[in-house]
A = this chain, B = another copy of it.
């Protein structure tokens, strides 16, 4: 996991990876893992026909994976058809685990996920982190991490890597937080503060949320737009099953898409950006509420009670979101739009105006809008599962590390 693997990458004319027999073997090991992981349970013969290799070849690959404790033999399948029944294989529930962590504005969380995607251990600590310096926060996180790792080890798992979701911009090295306005952190190298004996990756929580939707959401297509709001409004663009990060890593700044070019000034230098209409601050102001703790819960509560001002504010925000998303949908033609993060809790009041605006304006057929069912857990799960994906993508690498 030296490089983040969940990334679309060029096969451009520059320096290219060699295609040697060892590489072929590694890719085939990965194909077996992916096939079994996707179906949950599969015989060798089924894997063979699925990935296009012969049964004999798959046998040796599976042997190797079982020896590395990445795959488990569950025993003979219940026969339904003629012929000898296959022996069911499943991804191991006692092998490597992905450790995910989230540094939120008012909580810290850590969890361990096994190769099957099951959460096997977790720990949460509530309490505002806004404005605290990194060191004590990381100390607390390290303690949670210790607990979770211990619990996972008790279940026969061993940590294959740690992925940390942070509410801010992360440098390309996937270690240092360039700036996290809500924490007031700048250029913080989590790699130095979090010395672990397994690989570390840091990424934006919105990105991990989108990946969670991609990997763990039910029926999520490989091309979609994941919109989330914490303070800012961000969109993650998922194309062909990979995150589009942009040249400088700044892709997805939906919050600064112009909605009304002559609208109110924005901190970014523009005018009438989406954030001026659908950002947290703007919505609270329009609803006549003061900023404070748990603002989203407050909004949702008032809206549920029937507060007219709040409902109007959310309706207007939905409309602005619809306008901005129209541009995005026309440009990218995604299969769907998913609302995640804080937006999922407010969806009932945002959706009607959002969809109305989007449907009316989109050039082609309407693009379906859905709400994430992972809710606020998305980023944490996505982080943990990103480690699992790295294992599935190159099982040989972790096997030799064990």
Q: Can you list 26 A-B contacts (CB < 8 A)?
A: A8-B240, A10-B240, A10-B242, A12-B241, A13-B37, A13-B38, A16-B52, A17-B52, A18-B51, A19-B24, A20-B24, A20-B52, A21-B21, A221-B247, A239-B244, A245-B333, A250-B363, A255-B363, A256-B362, A256-B363, A257-B327, A258-B326, A258-B361, A324-B327, A327-B327, A327-B328
Question: Which B residue's beta carbon lies closest to that of A18?
Answer: B52
Interface string of A256-273 (1 = CB under 8 A from B): 111111000000111101
CA distance A8 to B238 in the complex (A): 12
B-side contacts of A239, CB under 8 Å: 8, 239, 244
For the complex formed by this chain, how many copies does it contain in all? 2
- Decide if B257 touches A259 in the complex (CB within 8 Å): no
B335 and A270 within 8 A (CB): no
* Residues of A that sit less than 8 Å from B by CB: 8-21, 24, 27-28, 31, 34-35, 37-38, 50-53, 221-223, 235, 237, 239-242, 244-261, 268-271, 273, 323-324, 326-328, 330-335, 360-365
Say yes or no: A247-B223 contact (C-beta < 8 A), given A323-B261, A330-B254. yes
Q: Is the interface of A mostly helix, strand, loop or mixed?
A: loop
Query: Of B13, B14, B246, B332, which one neighbours A223 at CB under 8 angstroms?
Result: B246
A256 touches B37 (CB 8 A): no
Given A269-B360, A327-B324, A360-B269, A34-B13 contact (CB < 8 Å): yes
User: Contact: A333 with B13, CB < 8 Å?
Assistant: no
CA distance A205 to B252 in the complex (A): 28
- Report how far A324 CA is from B256 CA in the complex, Å: 12
Closest chain B residue, CB of each to CB of A53: B18
Partner of A331, one of B8, B13, B38, B331: B331
Shortest CB-to-CB span from A312 to chain B, Å, is 17
Contacts of A11 in B (CB 8 A): 241
Residues of B within 8 A of A247 (CB): 221, 223, 333-335
Known contacts being A16-B34, A248-B364, A365-B248, is A332 close to B21, with CB within 8 Å? no
Q: How far is the CA of A88 from the CA of B154 in the complex (A)?
A: 61
